Structure 1
Amino acid sequence: MQRRMKRVTARRGRVAASAAAVVCVITAVLPGAAWAGPADGAIGAGADVVGVERVSVAADGTQANDDSAEVSITPSGDRIAFSSYANNLTPGNTGRNDRVFVRDLATGQNQQFGGPAMAPPMLSSDGQVLAYLAPRFDHMALYQNHLSLGWSSSYTCSLNSCEASMGASERHQAFSVSFRYPEQNQRVEVRRPDTGELQTVDIIHNTASIRPSLSGDGTRLAYQDGGEQDILLWDWADNNVTYPIEGPDRAAELVQLSDDGNKIVYLSGADTYVHDIASGTDLQVPGVKGVAIDPTGRYLLHTPSGTTGPAPLTLRDLQTGTDETVTDRPATAEIDSVSAGGRHVVFRSTAEDLVPDDTNGKADIFLRTLR
């Protein structure tokens, strides 16, 4: 927790090898991908029905035969990305390995990619690019796949310490990469929204997770200074990080920057705070643990304060202060789990009574449509 304003300069440049930094490179990869279309003309109801539906299913509705894990949804609510050990969600998948799937909610189609995912898979705001962290030999890599154009690439970290965030498209990405010589530092690399070139922000004397969270247009980046328990905001317009957003006297933990780049959710003590960047003011939401915020910054997904595992999920309208129950069963959710306007929420649960005929005894991915 800092008692002074921080100023961290960002410099424009490309990733290069040096004696001081561990090398990171961009290489091409071609992970296998397979579409599974609806069987016998079946069409997934997707985001059209108010209520709860299970979405970690095959195109014909067959339930997954193994556990599914982390999940995210696009702002428009038309696609979700999730990881699963199931081998029956797409045709021809014979091994029970952790894989990443993208489900088109309008058609019920699943597209399968590589894995295993070491963090929740991410979809760009426009729904066109999938990204996920996975092992690459003895390193970590951020794999990227364009769902329409079919190209694939990877960003390889020479240490097992990558973190990532995505904005609207493949040009808007943030990567956190660790240094190991001459001292333990970190570096965040953000692609310029106008040219796609990399800008870097050096984070000195910090080795903890920084949880980078990028706005949809790639112009703002929120991140955590784990050593100081501060949350910092980088703005592309002036290439500077100028302050801890929570103020000088409060320890904080970052949850998420909203997709529109206007709100930052963070935890402090037993409460959640929503920071308005334009006004510099904080909205305190007492007694709850914030999990995610919708792309517009209006709807906050939360669990009871002190939660460390699966728990009921509630969606709060921050303008009216009203709550809606997403599920009263134990569940988990990640950032990017709420679509724009708070209409859809995706989550993971082992509960067997959320939908009829849930007999697989596994953790499934569910979609709650609220309006």
Structure 2
Amino acid sequence: MRAALSAAFAACAVTAVLPGSASAEAGVVGARGAGVERVSAAADGTEADGNSAGASITHDGRRVVFSSSATNLTPDAATEGDSVFVRDQRTKQIQRMGNLAPIQPPVISGDGEYLGYAHQWITNVRIRQYQVGTGRTASLNCSAYSCDQPSLSADGRYTAHVVRSPRQPTFGQRIEVQDWNDGGSNQTVAALDHTQPSRPSISGDGRHVAYQDGKAKDVFVWDRTGGTTSGPIEGPAAQATLVQLSDDGGKVVYLSGSDTYVHDVRTGAAQSLPNVRGVAIDPTGRYLLYAPHDTTGPSLTLRDLRTGTEEIVADQPASAGTDAVSAGGRDVVFQSTADDIVPGDTNGKSDVFVRHFY
């Protein structure tokens, strides 16, 4: 499969120059171990001279992708606008991925081999995907339409995304899955008669896609096996907003009112977490990252859904996105403007950090 996907990229690819550079930023921890470290720093340890945000982490916690307006993270960093960067936590190498400015947070496959992000292309929006190791690139097959909001399977073979027509409002939108091993073919998950939020979230094996109907405020789960859709999973009497589908396809996190729910796809049961906003779930579906509505406490907390135990991710004001938790809840990536998370933070910018729990 990997060879076939590489070939699909190579068929319409150009090789980007991606100079790797060792980062000297140490933060509170050096290599692995409990603590927190800053990810958005230049090779020589110099603080980023721009804001960094929109981070995602791989299943094993090795690679972090984020966007930044900094001009000093790599020698080829852009002089204006945002760029996408990948940092290897093991080697401390940092790379700029392409020369296009992202208009949404970048995403990375669970194995860290592929990433993708939406960017403006003349009057349309396109999704460009990159093979991290080689820099090869390919664009999703969106024909004359715009496509955005990518979600990648664990090995990068499948990309779930949203397709719209800027010049035909009555087109509404489609949620599709592109299979890079099948010549870039697209399979329609759902067709909606509106353009309100419908961000998809795909499982690691590409079998399930969770998505929301932003107009009806319902959440559904599509199963590739029979092309069937179940839902609304929150029930007909409630309104819901999708957060994320776990990589194993077993749990769907959604918001309803002021509460967060974790829906079990197999049993249909839902676990309720009152008065908190779910942010992300780890690939195994066991650990939930949430932000309490009560602003007097920690800004981000990681909860073990099986035991009920919790770990504080950040006491300072901070935020995170989906795909922010590595497998087993070992690492959590987040962003903050606070200057006391690691020593020597004096840039006055939003930085990206990783909290290691073990």
TM-score (norm 1): 0.86
User: 98, 104, 116: which one pairs with 1:131?
Assistant: 116
Aligned to 2:304: 317
The yes-or-no answer on 1:166 pairing with 2:147 is no
The yes-or-no answer on 1:191 pairing with 2:175 is no
Q: Do the aligned partners of 2:38 and 2:342 also contact (CA within 8 Å) in 1?
A: yes
Q: Do the aligned partners of 1:73 and 1:123 also contact (CA within 8 Å) in 2?
A: yes
Aligned to 2:346: 359
Aligned to 2:60: 76
Q: Do the aligned partners of 1:287 and 1:305 also contact (CA within 8 Å) in 2?
A: yes
Aligned to 1:152: 137
Matched residues in 2 for 1:86 and 1:130: separation? 20
Matched residues in 2 for 1:193 and 1:237: separation? 18
**Distance change (3 Å), C-alpha of 1:62 and 1:293:** same
Shift of 1:31: 7.2
The yes-or-no answer on 1:368 pairing with 2:355 is yes
TM-score (norm 2): 0.89
The yes-or-no answer on 1:119 pairing with 2:107 is no
Aligned to 1:265: 253
Q: Do the aligned partners of 1:270 and 1:306 also contact (CA within 8 Å) in 2?
A: no
Aligned to 1:141: 126
Q: Give the match's secondary structure for 2:328.
A: helix
Matched residues in 2 for 1:152 and 1:251: separation? 39
Question: Aligned residues: percent identity?
Answer: 48
Question: Which residue type is aligned with residue 313 of structure 2?
Answer: V
Question: Which residue type is aligned with residue 132 of structure 2?
Answer: L
The yes-or-no answer on 1:301 pairing with 2:285 is no
Aligned to 1:224: 212
User: 11, 14, 18: which one pairs with 1:34?
Assistant: 18
The yes-or-no answer on 1:207 pairing with 2:195 is yes
Residue range with higher mean Cα deviation, 92-101 or 354-363: 92-101
Q: Do the aligned partners of 2:74 and 2:96 also contact (CA within 8 Å) in 1?
A: yes
Q: Give the match's secondary structure for 1:191.
A: strand
Matched residues in 2 for 1:35 and 1:207: separation? 39
Q: Give the match's secondary structure for 2:48.
A: coil
Q: Do the aligned partners of 1:45 and 1:107 also contact (CA within 8 Å) in 2?
A: no
Shift of 1:185: 2.3
- 1:14-63 superposed Cα distances (whole Å, 9 cap, x missing partner): xxxxxxxxxxxxx94537442232279x9x96760211111101122221
Aligned to 2:6: none
Question: Which residue type is aligned with residue 58 of structure 1?
Answer: A
Aligned to 1:326: 313
User: 341, 346, 355: which one pairs with 2:333?
Assistant: 346
Matched residues in 1 for 2:101 and 2:222: separation? 31
Q: Give the match's secondary structure for 1:341.
A: helix
Task: Give 5+ residue unaligned stretches, structure 2.
Answer: 1-10
The yes-or-no answer on 1:49 pairing with 2:33 is yes
Q: Give the match's secondary structure for 1:183.
A: helix
Question: Which residue type is aligned with residue 264 of structure 1?
Answer: V
Aligned-CA RMSD value = 2.4
**Distance change (3 Å), C-alpha of 1:94 and 1:321:** closer
Matched residues in 1 for 2:198 and 2:123: separation? 22
Q: Do the aligned partners of 2:23 and 2:93 also contact (CA within 8 Å) in 1?
A: no
Task: Give 5+ residue unaligned stretches, structure 1.
Answer: 1-26
The yes-or-no answer on 1:255 pairing with 2:240 is no
Shift of 1:110: 0.6
Aligned to 1:289: 277
Matched residues in 2 for 1:37 and 1:45: separation? 19
